Structure 1
């Protein structure tokens, strides 16, 4: 089976900003992008993106999950990167149009159609290191996918790292540079400790991994870092916390120190998980810190993690009531 996100539909939705106005969005071949080698994005990383999914329901219909939330975050990322503003209605229509175009290709559960809206600065200007791009491009790629982690429900191994994933003021922006800065530490952790991911904990503050938010589950309480500018405000994180409250759990959004994490992790019944659009909710079984391995609870996938993941999947797959209005039917 092809690696997650490596298969693309042959066409995409695209719109361009010429410095004064956006043109009409069109569906074009996915290899249509033509960039000047001096394009702002290639030199000064004026780029942000989103990740969301469309799901096929048993009646054959297709629904996009939490599209409005992802568009709002992309508008925020664009603003913080000083990229040209766009009307959220433009991106909404682009997403709907391209998903509708390939509705017949949306996989059945547990597969889905991964949607990747992207915004890049296109102005050819290598003298603008401290000046925003005047022109830009929005496009929406589609990729039919299965499970993100090849290991399935296997509990993951995380290396606790004292450094930050990215510059603190950039954390809430979903930009490629943040992922690039996490790549080398992650590769080193895999080689040295056979870790699946790095959990970044600058100054002992438990934040996030390179591509997912971190959740600690202690009995009926779910603990995760309160939102600030230093880390990504995950849509799946928000979804899981909402579902946890619906199930009567106590949700604590606050500072979580490495010391407290390790102390709680060793207790019987404790669970930990990573949340993200691609990963959904992946169980964490082992924490690696200062050369020592600490099992989270039993070290195996936990029942509460599985229950929360199933509650989310049931809404995405149309098997449970969409009480929060998260689905956009197309």
Structure 2
């Protein structure tokens, strides 16, 4: 594997107190960088002091949105060890997003090593307080200078990290979501399955409208019939009706969440009845009215978020008495336990930071 050049900062910053951490506000001392040019491929992997970029006003990412990213975390357990959660799966998903955006794919082992090496350099930034972690943001942007619609011939891959607290101010408490019957984020055949900047831009207006109405997030419905659940703005969605756990299928319009996959794996390990199938908003509301519904979101940022209230067409429906369901809590406790090294890890999802690839 290509050697990563490391230039350490001469002016290390003070790390913030764990108790003060929000999400995505503070970043560490260093960043990882690697360049791509046609004919040369991906080259010059390096870690440098965290600093602003200089971009030409005609840099194509600023005009045509050719940008992808991913998000994962490192956790410091009670034993003091740092663990990366499902880093290989995140590296592979970054390449899937690259494929959708006509961005040259990278060696997944190089992506893993870039993350491992950067977290190792900035290891002191991994917080220790339960519920905190080091958020890791690998990103690729198109860097060719031109005006014209075609894939760029040059790219920058970079990774930044920062200590974070809870994603939602509610923490593990139930959140409220609004099923939108007016706005659409993605459709099958589009970019819904890619973690790309445009998908998040497409979600902003609907999310703002939901927040004005007193909700935490939007529950997007399918873009064709406006009937079937797709995903929440920052999470995949799951629900339990009776003895069946249901989540929308990966139909090309939603993101293949790593936490989603972790939850499905655990549920099947536990022998529960699990279905990846379309589920209509009408069926969800009927279950809410009947008192047979438990609902939660899954995502890297929040891990598991119980849903205590669902809005739709001007009506508000309380779910599970507005309380966190038993299965929701069990899933959260199990995944967090694996991440912090306090619970068994039968699938080998957590990698100790000291272990290089293959370790």
TM interval, shorter chain, is over 0.9
User: Are residues 1:318 and 2:341 paired?
Assistant: yes
Counterpart of 1:187? 208
Q: Offset at 1:266? A: 2.4
Alignment of 1:143-222 (within 5 A): 143-162=162-181, 163-168=183-188, 169-191=190-212, 193-202=213-222, 203=225, 204-222=227-245
Q: How many angstroms apart in 2 are the aligned matches of 1:287 and 1:59?
A: 39
Report the counterpart of residue 26 of structure 2 in structure 1.
7
- CA–CA distance in structure 2, aligned partners of residues 323 and 178 of structure 1: 34
Matched, 1:226 2:240: no
What is the deviation of 1:34?
A: 2.2
Instruction: Tell me the C-alpha RMSD between the 2 structures.
Output: 1.3
Q: Is the 8 A contact 2:142 2:154 kept in 1?
A: yes
SS at 1:95's partner residue?
A: helix
Aligned residues: 327
| Contact 1:159–1:195 (Cα < 8 Å) also in 2 | yes
What is the TM-score when the length of structure 1 is the normalising length?
Answer: 0.96
Q: In 2, are the aligned partners of 1:219 and 1:270 still within 8 Å (CA)? A: yes
Aligned to 2:102: 82
- Normalised to the residue count of structure 2, the TM-score between the two structures is 0.88
1:294 aligns with 2:317: yes
> 1-side partners of 2:288 and 2:45: how far apart?
49
SS of residue matched to 1:24 = strand
Q: Secondary structure at the match of 2:333?
A: helix
Name the counterpart of 2:6: none
User: Where does structure 2 lack aligned partners over 5 or more consecutive residues?
Assistant: 1-19, 354-359
Give the match's secondary structure for 2:232.
coil
What is the distance in 1 between the residues matched to 2:281 and 2:187? 20
Mapped contact 1:15–1:26 kept (Cα < 8 A): yes
Give the aligned partner of residue 278 of structure 1.
Answer: 301
CA distance in 1, matches of 2:22, 2:201: 19
Measure the CA separation in 1 of the matches of 2:61 and 2:50: 18
- The farther-off stretch of 33-42 and 170-179 is 33-42
| Number of the residue aligned with 1:41 | 61
Structure 1 residue 110 and structure 2 residue 134: aligned? no
Q: Which residue of 2 aligns with 1:16?
A: 35
- Give per-residue Cα distances to partners, 1:85-135, cap 9 Å, x unaligned: 2211221111010011111221123211100000111000112x1x11000
* Cα deviation code 1:24-59 (max 9, x no counterpart): 311112224222211111111010000000111222
